[in-house]
Structure 1
Amino acid sequence: MAALAPRQLFLNLRPRDDATLENFLSLPGNSAALEALGSGGEDQVYLHGPADGGKSHLLQALCHAAGPGALYLPGSAVAAYPAEEVLSGAEGLALVCIDELDLLAGREDWEQALFHFYNRARESACRLCVAAARPPGTLPLELPDLRSRLAAGLVFALPAPDDAARRAILSFRAGRRGLRLAPELAGYILARAPRGLADLLAVLERLDQASLAARRPLTQPFVREVMSW
């Protein structure tokens, strides 16, 4: 099967429906980044940290909020495509979010294209938000000028959620779905669900669907039955 052209590819890069600012819980470790991103006043923001820190969620949420004038580019989806073609003309948009920058670092074609895109975006007032596992200073880049561009704006570290934060996020996301999650039941789920936040939220999705189908509230016996715990 032939690979998609870059412009066709963009049609398949829609943010997840649930990745919105309203679905993102403000915590001490992420509140500064959330405030800066939500205000819309910063032209360039760089987020870094582990997978569960919420980087991808925030970038997709910004694209949701910005509407059709935004573009979400995860490195895992665009790395195989010509960098110049992917980024050509994107500076004409209101917002471009580049996720998983780690997967593009060390690639001469992508580093050069990103450097020139940063310059074009700045000249055209295109807002640029980038996310990677590492801060700009330790990202394995070959182009020093690109490193300088990445570090020129606001830089925020988003930590992985600890157990208390995971509990708060689980209860928050359950509430967003209209589910009542008693503290004891939240503890029961957290003790048995995978530690990864995406996996934990997938458990919540499964329980929500099962609760709707069975027309039963979430109780420990029901959760045990659905999850085979």
Structure 2
Amino acid sequence: MNSPSLPRQFALDIGHTPKPSLSNFLAGENLALHSTLLAIAKSWEMNAPRLASENPLNERWIYWWGPEGSGRTHLLGAIGNAAQQLDLKHFPLTPNEPISWVNLEESLPALCSSTAPSVITVDDVDRLDERQVASLFRILNAIQGSEAIHIFMAGNAAPGALRLREDLRTRLGWGLVFQTHLLGDDEKIEALQQAAQARGLVLSSDVLPWLLNRFYRDMPNLMALIDALDAYSLETKRAVTLPLVRELLQPK
């Protein structure tokens, strides 16, 4: 069955969409990774540990990998937001923003000598270009001797299977490595219900099972549809029932 696409554009209230957090992530089979990140965020909140001797590299250097829709980007955003809420320096790196790599490398000497935690997140490691690969290699080398820098990285494959330089693939595996897993259907429904509740959106009981059978099955598209339903419900001043969903998805 072909998945329908949204037939119209919505001016979504981005500010109304909850930010990724560790509390609004449904762990499913990703419990080990989720628990590790919760423990790290808790240590920041308690202002401990701060010394390198109490803060080993493999607890500050984490890479996770899995298919699209398995929570890779959500967890990067969640740990980054946790750091920002505690006023820690956070440097989000992606393949699409080359200037952020330059800015971070300029800040590295000060970060490496500081005992205050700072956080680097790197998304889509598998899509880095040659210059970004070289930059990440230098960044990881610097972090080895740092006091309290944490780096969290995510990609679509295990370190050894990435199409990157061998020396970088090796370094990605120096810290903790986790695989992220897709949610099952019941877990997807639970996650979507949580997302709807966070937006103050009430769904009739038949909406989510119908969407899983008729719409996209991956979480990014399903979450985007929750936002679209939220906007359409506000626009039409109607409750989110199956007729409203069918109307939204009806090609114009």
Q: TM-score range by the shorter chain?
A: 0.7 to 0.9
How far the C-alpha of 1:190 sits from its partner, in A, is 2.0
Deviations 1:117-145 (A, max 9, x none): 1121232221000101011121123233x
Worse overlay, 200-209 or 184-193: 184-193
1:96 partner SS? strand
2:125 to 92, 101, 115: 101
* 1:219 counterpart letter in structure 2: T
Instruction: Tell me the equivalent position of 1:18.
Output: 19
Mapped partners of 1:84, 1:180: distance in 2: 45
Does the 8 A contact of 2:26 with 2:187 survive in 1? no
Instruction: Tell me the equivalent position of 1:130.
Output: 153
1:183 partner SS? coil
TM-score (norm 2): 0.73
Worse overlay, 17-26 or 55-64: 17-26
Instruction: Tell me the equivalent position of 2:212.
Output: 190
Instruction: Tell me the equivalent position of 2:91.
Output: 71
Instruction: Tell me the equivalent position of 1:218.
Output: 240
How far the C-alpha of 1:85 sits from its partner, in A, is 6.0
* 2:31 counterpart letter in structure 1: S
Deviations 1:26-45 (A, max 9, x none): 21x11111111121162111
How far the C-alpha of 1:168 sits from its partner, in A, is 2.3
Mapped partners of 1:202, 1:84: distance in 2: 32
Does the 8 A contact of 1:112 with 1:143 survive in 2? no
Aligned pair 1:55/2:78, yes or no?
no
How far the C-alpha of 1:86 sits from its partner, in A, is 5.2
Deviations 1:153-190 (A, max 9, x none): 11110022333332222222112222233432211222
Instruction: Tell me the equivalent position of 2:199.
Output: 177
Q: RMSD in angstroms over aligned alpha carbons? A: 2.4
Which structure 1 residue ranges, 4+ long, deviate > 6 Å from structure 2? none
Residue correspondences, number: 208
How far the C-alpha of 1:191 sits from its partner, in A, is 2.1
The 5 A counterparts of 1:158-169 are 158-169=180-191
* 1:142 counterpart letter in structure 2: R
Does the 8 A contact of 2:18 with 2:199 survive in 1? no
1:130 partner SS? strand
Q: Report the identity percentage.
A: 30
Mapped partners of 1:159, 1:121: distance in 2: 28
How far the C-alpha of 1:82 sits from its partner, in A, is 9.8
How far the C-alpha of 1:211 sits from its partner, in A, is 1.8
Distance 1:228 1:111, change over 3 A: closer
Deviations 1:40-93 (A, max 9, x none): 162111010111111111111111111151111112333xx6966653324627
Mapped partners of 2:134, 2:235: distance in 1: 52
* 2:122 counterpart letter in structure 1: I
1:129 partner SS? strand
Residue segments in structure 2 that go unaligned for 5+ positions in a row = 1-16, 44-58, 112-116
The 5 A counterparts of 1:148-167 are 148-167=170-189
Instruction: Tell me the equivalent position of 2:105.
Output: 87
Residue segments in structure 1 that go unaligned for 5+ positions in a row = 1-15
